[in-house]
Amino acid sequence: MIGIFCGARAGEIFGLYRGNIGQEAETVFLQKTKTNTARHVYLTKEVRTVPEWRYNGQDRNELIFPANTGGNKERMSKTFDRAVASICLNDGITDARQKVVFHTIRHTFASWLVQRACRSTRWPS
């Protein structure tokens, strides 16, 4: 949900602490980014409806998505790969660059963002 509706990378999601969520749960502060440039992202209504995501007075230093060991996750669980396989998204695709992976949803977010911007902009004739 956070990846596709907020455009966050897996590593950014894994580094989220409860304290990174805005009090009204409308933004989240991504501090562990690929470029080491922290930023805020808007939480869409779809993400705000996930109960586990909400900040409800937990320890602000608690990871939202900890590894089984309690520390930071290093990689995406196999659940995403199983979901992709179960709906046959990568069937028949031999080129690894064309396969659906978790990062694909970041590209989907970017495409949706561009489409929305194009709809709201009047193009000159």
What is the C-alpha separation between 116 and 33, in angstroms, rounded?
Answer: 25
Which sequence spans correspond to the domains of the chain?
2-120
Given a cut of 80, whether residue 40 has pLDDT beyond it is yes
pLDDT digits (tens, 9 = 90+) for 57-105: 778 888 888 888 888 888 888 999 999 999 999 999 999 999 999 999 9
Percent of the chain scored above 90 by pLDDT? Answer: 35
Considering only the top CATH level, what class is 2-120? mainly alpha
- Using a cut of 0.85, tell me whether the model's pTM lies above it: no
Alpha-carbon distances of 77 from 3, 81, 111, rounded to whole Å: 14, 8, 25
Using one digit for the tens of pLDDT, what is the confidence trace for 113-124? 898 888 776 655
Q: Please, which residues have CB within 8 angstroms of residue 80's CB and are 6 or more apart in sequence?
A: 102
